[in-house]
Amino acid sequence: MLTFAKNLPEMSRTLIAPSVLAADFANLQRDVEMINRSEADWFHIDIMDGVFVPNISFGMPVLRDLAKHANKTIDVHLMIVDPDRYIKTFADLGSDVLTVHYEACTHLHRTLQAIKAEGMQAGVALNPHTSVALLEDVIQDIDLVCLMSVNPGFGGQKFIENTYEKVRALKALIERKGANTKIEIDGGVTDQNAAALVEAGADVLVAGSFVFKSEDPIATVANLKALTA
């Protein structure tokens, strides 16, 4: 079996995270290896339960096999109710970053500590209607805030313009609190909004359709890197 050095140093400031949801699932190993060869920084993995969001993506066996081939940071976005049930499972499957939804957690502070106790970075995703101000009392415990720039559940949706305002508000909150939190944008990212999102304060850009449905995904990732350098 091939082994890869994971968690390679992240050289540039803006990280690009192709969302595997838009890959060809009949050619998953091919698509994972393509991302390995690209300038992408992270693999973004969308797990949906058909309850928190009106769609079901894929589950543990797919992530387990995918992780065997991936040589970059594995960023798992849980769109599921009661995510506490699966924190250890996702750690064992190879997740490096585990993001739960604010709207799915009753005891968010406890959930974040449980994620970190399993050796992962702890992320919190906010739906488009959820204010960043709600993170005021917990921001110092969060490694990554994922701002949803579409309603979660599907790839290929249109970017919600209000996201820019949320990025700026979140950046201000992080600075005011002296927190060490990355800002990730998820949904509808393209070459048309990438640079402006970074300008507003984004650190990680997730891109699904824009990368995988393009003619040359490796060149598309390189273009996103260049636009956000």
Binding site for Zn ion (CB under 5 A): 46, 77, 186
Task: Give the Cα separation of 120 and 85 in Å (integer).
Answer: 15
31 binds ligand DX5 (CB under 6 A): no
92 is catalytic: no
Token digits of residue 123: 């992320």
Residue with Cβ nearer ligand DX5 (52 or 179): 52
- Which runs of consecutive H residues, i.e. helices, occur in 38-124? 60-69, 87-92, 108-117
CB of 41 to ligand DX5, least distance (A): 15
Q: Are strands 182-186 and 144-148 parallel, antiparallel or unpaired?
A: parallel
Residue with Cβ nearer Zn ion (77 or 101): 77
150 binds ligand DX5 (CB under 6 A): yes
Residue with Cβ nearer Zn ion (144 or 200): 144
Token digits of residue 110: 């406890």
Which backbone phi and psi does 34 adopt, to 5 degrees?
-65, -45
206 binds ligand DX5 (CB under 6 A): yes
Q: Is the dihedral of CA 208, 152, 48, 154 positive or negative?
A: negative
Site for ligand DX5, residues 76 to 95, rule: CB under 6 A: 77
User: What is the greatest pairwise CA distance in the chain?
Assistant: 47
**Structural contact between residues 181 and 192, judged by C-beta atoms closer than 8 angstroms:** no
Token digits of residue 216: 């040359």
- The catalytically annotated residue of 46, 96, 143, 203 is 46
Q: Which residue stretch of 98-106, 154-162, 174-182, 193-201 sits at the interface with ligand DX5 (rule: CB under 6 A)? A: 154-162
- The catalytically annotated residue of 75, 96, 143, 186 is 186
| Residues identified as active-site | 46, 186
Q: Which residues bind ligand DX5 (CB under 6 A)?
A: 19, 21-22, 44, 46, 77, 150, 152-157, 186-189, 206-210
